[in-house]
Every structure is written in C-alpha cells, then in structure tokens.
Structure 1
Amino acid sequence: MRASFRRTTAETEVEVSLDLEGSGRSEVETGVPLLDEMLEILAQGSGFDLEVRARGDLPTGDHHTIEDVAIALGRAFAEVADAGIGSSFVPSGEALAFAAVRFGPLGYRDEVEFLAGSLEGMELGNYGHFMRTLAYNGEFALHLRATGGDDWEKVEALTLSVARALKRAVADGRRGRETSWNSDGVERIEE
C-alpha cells in the first residue's frame, strides 16, 4: 500500500512517499540532520519504505520544516492505514522508551524530558511537536514515554519504538479487517 503527499507553503516545500509493503529503505533529505536520522530510523524500524524531500526556511529555525514534514508524512499514513493498535518498548544505551499507537481516535501524550536545548540541528522541543503533528495528521493516537539515557539515546529509542508500534498497528489493522468488533472496539470472539 503506497501513498504520496506534497505540501507547499510560504516557508517549505515537502514531498513524501510511503510504502507500507517495503523493506525499510529510505531516501531522506530535509536539511535537519536529526530529522533525517529520525526518518531513517522510522523506515528501518517499521520496514516501510520512505522517501522525504524537504526545502524550508532553515535560517529562521527548524520549526516549519519539522512541522510540515510531519504533516505530509501523517497525511500519507492516513491514506493507507485507518485501523489497528500496536505498541513497543525499545532500549538504547541507558534509555528505555515506550510507544503505543491506535489508528482511529486522535490523541497525543508524552512523558519525555530532554536535557539539552538542541541536538544535531534540531530544537529538541520540536521532537514532541513532530510526533504530535504526525499523529494528528496520520489520524491515530500516540503515547510516548522515555526514561534514562542521554538525549540521543532517548531520541533513538523513542523513534524506533514509534516505528515498531506503527508496524504492529498496521499489521493489526489488516488482521482486523477479517475480525468483527463490537461498538466499544472490543474484538468479538466467535466460536
């Protein structure tokens, strides 16, 4: 299942291509080194193929580029996934991260604290903004938690846990098409 999305604003131009039946291949160029690494981790960890090209007003900061990449990627997800639940715990060095995804109801919550203001060209306050924007535009609920470790270990563990949770949610959604559910979203077991 493939989707592409293009977003052009006064500040940015973003093109995203997403293939849920890929092999984890990525071609990413956003101008923000940490964002590039995050997107590569998302592709590798989920097994989805991902292409992202972004040109933005980086001299004014990374906010617009990060936000518009998240919007475009989220909209691509919304085109190809609409049901499913998945979660994942991932360690990285001294950090431990947890992510949970549910397509359908929108929501975002995180319990993440970074130590520094920025890392590899990205304001770390924009990490949560990226994830929230991705979730709302992707039409899913996303919950994140990270403890321990340094900022890079947290970013790596969080991003990989999101990738694995998305992979599991997509797989669950495909199974769910063959499963009946009651009105409360609880699986009906028929014998």
Structure 2
Amino acid sequence: MRASFRRDTAETKVEVSIDLEGSGSSEVETGVRLLDEILRLLARGSGFDLRVRASGDLPTGDHHTVEDVAISFGQALAQVAVAGIGSSSVPSGEALAFAAVRFGATGYREEVDISRRSLEGMDLENLGHFMRTLAYNGGLTLHLRASGGDDWQKVEALATALGRALRRAVEDGCGDPGNK
C-alpha cells in the first residue's frame, strides 16, 4: 500500500511518499537535521519505506518546514491507513518512551518533558507541534510519553516508539501489510 502527497505553500514545498509494505528504508532531506533523524527513526521503527523532500524558509526558523512535513506525512498516511490500534514502549539510554495510536479518530496527548530549547537545528517546541499536526492530518489519535535520559534519548525513543506503534496499528487494521 503506497501513497504520496505534495504540499506547496508560500513558505515550503514538501513531497512525501510512503510504502507500508516496505523494509524501513528512508530518503529524507528537509534541511532540519533533527527532523530528518526523526523521520528516519520512524521509518526504521515502522518498517515503512519513507521518502521526504522539503525545502522552505529555514532562515526564518524551522516551524513552517516541520509543520508542513507533518501535514504532508499525515495526509499520505491517511490515504493508506484508516483503521487499527497499536502501541509500543521503547528505551533509549536512560529514557523510556511510549506511543499509542488509533486510526479513525483524531486526538493528541503528550507527557514529554524537554529541557533544551533546540537540538540539531530544530526548536524542540516544534517536536510536539510535529506530532500533533501528524495526528490530526493522519486521522489518528496519538498519545506520547517520555521520561528519563537526556533530550536526544527522549526524541530517539519517541520516534522509534511511534514508528513501532504505527506498524502495529496498520497490522491491526488491515492485516500484515507485508503479506498482501
């Protein structure tokens, strides 16, 4: 099951393609190092093949790029995954993250304590914004928790947990995508 979505605005140009029957490979280039890594971890954790190309007004900050990538990824995901529930807990160093996903009903809740203002070129305030925007554009309920460790370990565990939860939700909603 494959889908793609393109978004062109005054601030950004984003192209996303996703293959739920992939192997977890990714080709990601957004201009925001941390966002690139989050997307790679999501792909690896989910087993989905993910391609993301984004260009935007990065001199003004990463907000528009992060938001528009989340919108595009969510819209592509909504084209191929409309039902299912999944969750996952993932450790990374001293951090532990939990993600739960339910397709078909939108909602968002997070319990993530981040101490730094930015990391790897991304304002960490936009981490929650990315996740919320993904949830609402993907037509899913998303609950996230992360505690312990440093901010990098929390982000790594969150992205991986979300990828694994998405995989489980897709398998729950439409069977194992690798067996179709």
TM-score band by shorter chain is over 0.9
Question: 5+ residue gaps in structure 1?
Answer: 177-191
Q: Secondary structure at the match of 2:27?
A: strand
Structure showing greater radius of gyration is: 1
Equivalent position of 1:163 in the other structure: 163
For 2:2, give the aligned amino acid. R
Deviation at 1:113, TM superposition (A): 1.0
Counterpart mapping for 1:109-120 below 5 A: 109-120=109-120
Q: TM-score, normalised by structure 1?
A: 0.91
> Equivalent residues in 2 for 1:28-43 (5 A)?
28-43=28-43
1:11 alignment partner in structure 2: 11
Residue 175 (structure 1) shift: 3.7
Letter in 2 for 1:119: L
Q: CA deviation at 1:110?
A: 0.1
- In 1, Cα distance between the equivalents of 2:20 and 2:175? 15
* Correspondence for 1:174: 174
1:136 maps to: 136
Q: Which amino acid aligns with 1:32?
A: V
1:22 and 2:17 aligned: no
Which structure would you say has the larger RCO, counting Cα contacts within 8 Å and 6 or more residues apart? Answer: 2
TM-score when normalising by structure 2: 0.97
Structure 2 residue matching 1:82: 3-state secondary structure = coil
Aligned residue number for residue 121 of structure 1: 121
Q: Show CA shifts across 1:111-145 (max 9, x none).
A: 00111000000000100000000010000000000
- The residue number in structure 2 matching 1:179 is none
Cα deviations by residue, 1:50-100 (Å, 9 ceiling, x for unpaired): 000000100000000000000000000000000000000000000000000
Q: Which whole-Å CA distance do the structure 2 matches of 1:89 and 1:24 have between them?
A: 18
Consecutive unaligned residues in structure 2, runs of 5 or more: none
- In structure 1, C-alpha distance between the alignment counterparts of 2:60 and 2:40, rounded to whole Å: 24
CA distance in 2, matches of 1:33, 1:11: 18
1:92 partner amino acid: S
Stretches (4+) displaced over 4 A: none
Aligned equivalents of 2:153, 2:144: Cα separation in 1: 14
Identity of aligned residues (%): 74
